[in-house]
A and B are shown apart, each in its own frame.
Chain A
Amino acid sequence: DAGVTQSPTHLIKTRGQQVTLRCSPKSGHDTVSWYQQALGQGPQFIFQYYEEEERQRGNFPDRFSGHQFPNYSSELNVNALLLGDSALYLCASSLAVPTDTQYFGPGTRLTVL
């Protein structure tokens, strides 16, 4: 039973570029959440997708957008990259049940130069 997978594992971009990160949820999970974790900080919630719709969103600008596909996999897109976007981006999957546990993928480490 595969857990949450993310690609790529590492990425280096320059300011102003755009990036797309990918996530496949744990088998049987239908809800995907994305988090940004800067060095020395806890993960910050970006947004959550369920039934291909953004269900809730954290305090992130519109440069951060996402998508969920019919197979429940998801993408995170970040436009006009800033140096401050350098972070570990974590994807977590769960069932659409309020008490369900979130399972995290290994993350994508993004460096913006």
Chain B
Amino acid sequence: RKEVEQDPGPFNVPEGATVAFNCTYSNSASQSFFWYRQDCRKEPKLLMSVYSSGNEDGRFTAQLNRASQYISLLIRDSKLSDSATYLCVRTSGGYQKVTFGIGRKLQVIP
């Protein structure tokens, strides 16, 4: 099993839709999880951290489920400007080795 697995297929959704991204991970010590956003031909930028208790920032909600070993990102009321690739990220170990998912491209359509 890959360290971090993310469904790669693109999302095409209409404006206003709710979109959910999921990643599964294999267990490792001292883990932290994040969601990054990457615009076309740009660098990844931190979107939000992921906690077991959940993390909400406006229209964005991130959740960590340690029992099932997955993390999720929910985008409500999607906007055209949300169009980008979303990458799940895990850091693990004492030196915080960083592992990215493959990324999933979101296209919000007018």
Q: Chain A interface (Cβ within 8 Å of chain B)? A: 33, 35, 40-45, 48, 55-56, 58, 90, 92, 98-107
Contact = CB atoms under 8 A, between A and B. Distances in A.
A101 B98 CA distance: 11
A17 B101 CA distance: 30
Given A98-B95, A106-B43, 15 more contacts: A35-B98, A40-B8, A40-B102, A42-B6, A42-B100, A42-B103, A45-B100, A56-B95, A90-B44, A92-B98, A101-B34, A102-B46, A104-B44, A104-B45, A107-B43
Contacts of A105: 43
Interface string B89-110: 0010111111111110000000
Interface residues of B, number: 24
A35 B43 CA distance: 11
Contacts of B94: 98
B72 interface: no
B101 A42 contact: yes
Given A55-B95, A98-B30, A98-B94, A43 B100 contact: yes
B32 interface: yes
Nearest to B96: A98
Given A98-B30, A99-B32, A43 B44 contact: yes
Contacts of A40: 8, 102
Interface in B16-75: 30, 32, 34, 42-46, 49
A106 B103 contact: no
B102 A42 contact: yes
